[in-house]
Amino acid sequence: MSTICTSKSESIQSVYENYVQKKYIVNRRYQRKLVWSIEEKEAFIDSVYRKYSVPLFLFAQPKADVQQYEIIDGMQRLNAIFGFIENEFGLKIKGKLYYFDLDTLGRTKKMREDGILTQKTPVLDREDCISIMNYELPLTTVIADKKNIEEIFRRINSYGRQLSDHEIRQAGALGLFPDLVRRISAKVRGDDSSKDVIGLNDMNRISLSNGNLRYGININNVFWVKQKIITIENMRKSRDEELIAQLLAYMIVGENMNPSKHALDGLYHYEDDKEGLNSKVESGINCKGVEVIISWFEKVYSEILLTLHESKVDFRTLLYGNKHPERFNRIFQVVFLAFFELLVNQKMRISDYDKLVEKLRDCGPRNFSGIGSRDNWNAEFRAEKVKILKALIEPAFVAQNGSDVVMENWTSQIENLLHKSSIEGSQYDFKIGFHDLNTRKFNEDLVKKCVEILTAEVNLGPKTKGYILVGVADNKKSADLWKKTYGGEEYMEFDGMNFFVVGLNKEIESYYKSGDDFIRKIKNVVSNCKVSEEVKKYILMNLKLVKYYGKDILVLELQSDNEPIAYDDEFYVREGNDTIKLTAPMAIALSKKFLQTINL
């Protein structure tokens, strides 16, 4: 396909209208996060206010008749413009902040009247607001296929120093390894999404907050920052992805994988890969399987989370007390890989978390000397440190055998699902339990309703996954009623996201002989639900009772194939948190949507 470019100027008002109509999309395979600070945003708006020239905005379209524009260059600037219009921040004039007058545009005035936007004060002069809205932005749109779009992005961002080293590696990088790093990094940060392409309108909700911009995910709650492993400034430079790339390379290729910048470049095939590292890691992923490697990472990460929870201090304090060692990301590598060797390679499990915490407490100065040296940090040195730490903590582990009935620690997976529900709410639902909190009776109809909801969640399109987490309240009122019902039992609030993890422990203790007895009852009800045998089989095979910080959570899951899924010969979809039964014409339209998506 040939590449066609068109250039024009377009007013900010017109561009904002496109934004409201959700015409701008972001491909997360190569686009970086929203990373501009409030000062950078204010400076850009000041340039517009003063009528200074601004850099070109570059968009891409797969076809000329597709009215969606993929942002190639200018995402941070567009976000600044739209954030200013919607009163996220103000314009500083002579040291004083002024906010955009929402009544300047019919669109923002209506949003203010509907309670979607709130007018902040003092308000910028209306004439200045109109002048900003009339400012002409230089736009170029490229009509090109996916491969050319990625190459354009890579070339634009490989020159100069706009991106960090790792963001340049990721820019346009193709292959299983870059995708794996990106997916796992997003899971840990909490900004994971099921689809690579999302609307610019949704980027705020999955971006890390910074400075006074309180949107999306609070960066202080992100694992790397909370545990004092990576600074906020280095998070903006994607150092978390660099660290995860180093961990995955070891897990896939082995301990001889050198943890150097040069090796990372080779893994991404960013420069001439004379050592064949890219082919080694791609072959290793093909051999082991993407989902298997993700499950390894999640297993280790979940156990580290639970260990830190038991320690009641952050990672740095646990290992070093009040000391502040350099290159702390290297120390985390050693700890993670020691856990990996024991949990995955030696197939062990943690038997005594208290003992493990005591082994790790203040172990840093004794075991990690020399780790900050530039000359020391190589594959051999890292492997030696991993072996030393593994020997230190191994007494807290025991061999896993077939007779062990240990509920799977799903700490990281549960947190990831809770985070994803904030942007993909229609694919997630939460239930507090299956026994009525007032009558104490088992609600069989609620189990059936869960199956109906699952079919609605996945009718979004082919290969869509839906989840229901049982043991989680989505409002404090329900959580408090649960607490009262079960005699003051405590629940856990999840990162201020209005989720309250109550667990099923008390429900199982009160009404069942064991967790297995509870699972059997749920499976019996699911087996009698009015769905196809294939749907029943998928739900039953993937139904699991897992642990989240000691609390039992039931996970129900379903995935669509190439056609919509019916419940009791009816089709349902989700609109927000509501399950809607489709009329016959709507059901036909849904089938056509599936077919069109498959044929794209």
- Residue among 530, 347, 501, 343 nearest 417 (CA): 501
User: Does the structure show a pLDDT above 70 at 272?
Assistant: no
435 in the same domain as 287: no
Identify whether 186 is part of a domain.
Answer: no
230 in the same domain as 367: yes
- Rounded distance, CA 182 to CA 535, Å? 31
Among 25-34, 94-103, 136-145, 323-332, which is the least confidently predicted range? 25-34
Span 402-424, pLDDT tens digits: 655 457 899 999 999 998 887 78
Identify whether 313 is part of a domain.
Answer: yes
User: For residue 212, what pLDDT is reported?
Assistant: 62
Tell me the percentage of the chain whose pLDDT exceeds 90. Answer: 68
User: Does the structure show a pLDDT above 90 at 541?
Assistant: yes
Cβ 266 vs Cβ 254: under 8 Å? no
Identify whether 217 is part of a domain.
Answer: no
User: For residue 208, what pLDDT is reported?
Assistant: 75
- Rounded distance, CA 464 to CA 598, Å? 12
- Rounded distance, CA 173 to CA 266, Å? 12
Query: Which positions ≥6 away from 119 have C-beta within 8 Å?
Result: 87, 99, 101, 102, 103, 112
Identify whether 168 is part of a domain.
Answer: no
Tell me the percentage of the chain whose pLDDT exceeds 70. Answer: 92
What is the number of structural domains in the chain?
Answer: 3
Query: Which positions ≥6 away from 523 have C-beta within 8 Å?
Result: 540, 543
Among 11-25, 63-77, 143-157, 518-532, which is the least confidently predicted range? 143-157
Q: How confident is the model at residue 160 (pLDDT cuts 50, 70, 90)?
A: very low
Cβ 451 vs Cβ 490: under 8 Å? no
User: For residue 161, what pLDDT is reported?
Assistant: 43
Last residue of a domain, one of 375, 399, 423: 399
User: For residue 397, what pLDDT is reported?
Assistant: 97
239 in the same domain as 387: yes
Span 371-413, pLDDT tens digits: 877 778 999 999 999 999 999 999 999 998 765 545 789 999 9
Identify whether 139 is part of a domain.
Answer: yes
- Residue among 436, 575, 553 nearest 500 (CA): 553
User: For residue 210, what pLDDT is reported?
Assistant: 60
395 in the same domain as 419: no
Q: Is 391 exposed, middle or buried (0-12, 13-18, 19+ CB in 10 A)?
A: exposed
Q: How confident is the model at residue 288 (pLDDT cuts 50, 70, 90)?
A: very high
Identify whether 183 is part of a domain.
Answer: no
385 in the same domain as 486: no
User: For residue 417, what pLDDT is reported?
Assistant: 92
pTM for the structure as a whole:
0.85
580 in the same domain as 482: yes
425 in the same domain as 376: no
- Buried-state track 28-41, b at ≥16 Cβ within 10 A, e below 16: bbbbbbbbbebeeb
Q: How confident is the model at residue 268 (pLDDT cuts 50, 70, 90)?
A: confident
Identify whether 406 is part of a domain.
Answer: no
What are the start-end ranges of the E strands in 153-247? 197-199
Last residue of a domain, one of 147, 162, 177: 162
Query: Which positions ≥6 away from 125 have C-beta within 8 Å?
Result: 98, 101
**H or E element, residue 466:** strand 465-470
537 in the same domain as 472: yes
User: Does the structure show a pLDDT above 90 at 245?
Assistant: yes
556 in the same domain as 452: yes
User: For residue 170, what pLDDT is reported?
Assistant: 74
Q: What is the mean pLDDT of the chain?
A: 90
520 in the same domain as 459: yes
User: Does the structure show a pLDDT above 70 at 282?
Assistant: yes
Q: How confident is the model at residue 6 (pLDDT cuts 50, 70, 90)?
A: confident
Give the residue numbers spanning the domain of 581. Answer: 411-599
User: For residue 428, what pLDDT is reported?
Assistant: 95
Last residue of a domain, one of 162, 182, 210: 162
Span 165-176, pLDDT tens digits: 777 777 667 789
Question: What CATH number corresponds to the domain at position 580?
Answer: 3.30.950.30
Q: In DSSP terms, which residues pair with 24 in a beta bridge? A: 69
148 in the same domain as 242: no
User: For residue 190, what pLDDT is reported?
Assistant: 87
Identify whether 216 is part of a domain.
Answer: no
514 in the same domain as 393: no
**H or E element, residue 263:** helix 261-267
Q: In DSSP terms, which residues pair with 306 in a beta bridge? A: none
User: Does the structure show a pLDDT above 80 at 596?
Assistant: no
User: For residue 144, what pLDDT is reported?
Assistant: 75
Span 180-229, pLDDT tens digits: 999 999 999 988 887 788 888 888 877 777 656 666 778 888 999 999 99
Among 11-15, 95-99, 270-274, 553-557, which is the least confidently predicted range? 270-274
